[in-house]
Structure 1
């Protein structure tokens, strides 16, 4: 029998209510809802009894037995779920209970329709690039982790900047003092990277992004590099300012002076289930409530007409001349065959 894992932000009453409804809809449709033990315990504390017909992950079934996961919450809940199932090729579909919810596929009001589509397998699976993150010092790997959105080097103390050198593919780009550096995926381009002034990159674009945060420098522009590149940030030792590495805002590592942080494309992507084919541009407009008043759109193919008149052609009476300074007397801008004026 098909099994679907239900993740819920159990710290919110709305999420617990949505989890109960989701489990009931799945069971009614003939599938087995699965929950983590801690989520089941949170439901018991909230409503006084366990969710009926639910199996417990790792007790009653393994991750490999589950078809997909439904995440009830915001983008943070999706990131948390992705961390829990990273070892398994388990696609996730997010139902937004938060604010922006860029990683979510549906809103709370669409919960019943979402469950119905999942039961009917009316979804596609999209692979999102993740990054591998390593922290080095004196050729020793201090830590290794990963991220779906970004790895962010940040100053540890509010009153002191960190001094860094940014690097791409083994070559230094610039050094400056700053509040930090964000190294992001296209998925993360609408998260921390966006807030730091980075570009919005469409999810299907294969690229990596590096964005300095409040850099004290004339050249500290966001960089978009090849997905096969190695991005690095080196912490300089000329100050003792502390720094910390955050990955997806969930995993943190203290960075000693002289540490080196390397980011590369991960071989293991995160799989997201998609229920519709809404273009990313439309999602961008909807999530950020962008103004599009006045847009007319492209002309329809059956209404397009070829030009009725040809473009004018430069005649033989005109000729080009070499560029010159305005203070050079007697040289016209365009020669037409006549003598230059005195």
Structure 2
């Protein structure tokens, strides 16, 4: 196909359908999406994309394959799985787009750290092979519901997979807040902000703010004050049944801003109250490499493990994980 050729669309049918998300502003993501669509089509599956992404993909596509269009020839409830080609931001964008569905997502990292991704760019062909053969499992990640109140009126009702961050709206003036857990105030202070995170988000903004890393299998929530002027402003890990809240005091008249997953934002007037609880609807992620989370930490953060020899006596839990997986030099 030349540069001026039109996109190729197909009608939905009973064949397995795989939704392909791509950061189409990046050439490597467009190339990866073309390769994934071609491999899926060759295996007899139907690649699906939204129209805008497909039109961006079609430019300079030399050997296009038929691709279905989400919401037009294929309904989202017909989709088996979503493949996200990009970084963590692309995965968060995809999770937002399919929030009302049961579609699991698998990420192929084309970015930097890519903590949410299951595979790297060089694993793309293997990842698609596993999708074709159905060789994957699905895990559920906790999400949070986020509500904003002002004067007894709810002015926002949204959600997040990683975190909701309450931040100062003016870089020259800190916000004055009172933090609360389980409907009881804990402390008040001036700060740059407060991060309210899930275990998944503990390796994102909360981690940058000095919070602990929480294993994804742990059911908990996390509150991390940012640059707080207070003696008691430590990160807090709460129960999954807790309600975390931040009240923006009108003391100094400073306005704030709420960010959810770094994507959705809302200005916060003085006196606003932000409440966070566990969402009843988790985000579903497909897994193909059941490695321990500790191995993911080592790989993503490039942590030094040279010299590690492991337990002196092998056990079923340790013998399944070769030392060379963590320390290739051993």
TM-score, normalised relative to structure 1: 0.87
One of 243, 252, 264 as aligned partner of 1:251: 264
Residue ranges of structure 2 left out of the alignment (5+ in a row)? 1-14, 316-330
Whether 2:249 is the aligned partner of 1:236: answer yes
Give the whole-Å Cα distance in 2 for the aligned partners of 1:65 and 1:51: 23
One of 27, 34, 43 as aligned partner of 1:29: 43
CA contact (8 A) 1:211 1:222 kept: yes
Residue in 2 aligned with 1:212? 225
Whether 2:85 is the aligned partner of 1:85: answer no
Give the whole-Å Cα distance in 2 for the aligned partners of 1:60 and 1:92: 21
One of 153, 167, 176 as aligned partner of 1:140: 153
Residue in 1 aligned with 2:288? 275
One of 40, 45, 52 as aligned partner of 2:54: 40
1:90, CA displacement in angstroms?
0.3
Residue in 1 aligned with 2:33? 19
One of 65, 73, 97 as aligned partner of 1:60: 73
Give the whole-Å Cα distance in 1 for the aligned partners of 2:50 and 2:314: 53
* Deviation string, structure 1 residues 129-185 (Cα, Å, up to 9, x no partner): 000000001110000100000000000111110000000001001000000000000
CA contact (8 A) 2:259 2:265 kept: yes
Kindly report structure 1 stretches of 4+ aligned residues shifted beyond 2 Å. Answer: 48-52
* SS in structure 1 at match of 2:196: strand
CA contact (8 A) 1:43 1:49 kept: no
Answer with 1 or 2: which has the greater Rg: 1
Residue in 1 aligned with 2:135? 122
Whether 2:296 is the aligned partner of 1:288: answer no
- With over 3 angstroms needed to count, the CA separation of the structure-2 counterparts of 1:163 and 1:51, relative to structure 1, is farther
Give the whole-Å Cα distance in 2 for the aligned partners of 1:60 and 1:159: 51
Residue in 2 aligned with 1:154? 167
CA contact (8 A) 2:199 2:221 kept: yes
* SS in structure 1 at match of 2:138: strand
1:52, CA displacement in angstroms?
2.4
Whether 2:116 is the aligned partner of 1:103: answer yes
* Deviation string, structure 1 residues 17-75 (Cα, Å, up to 9, x no partner): 0000000000001100000001011113x316794210000110100000000000000
- With over 3 angstroms needed to count, the CA separation of the structure-2 counterparts of 1:275 and 1:48, relative to structure 1, is closer
* SS in structure 1 at match of 2:187: strand
1:300, CA displacement in angstroms?
2.1
* SS in structure 2 at match of 1:144: strand
CA contact (8 A) 2:34 2:61 kept: no
- Superposition RMSD on alpha carbons, in Å? 1.1
Residue ranges of structure 1 left out of the alignment (5+ in a row)? 303-342
* SS in structure 2 at match of 1:119: helix
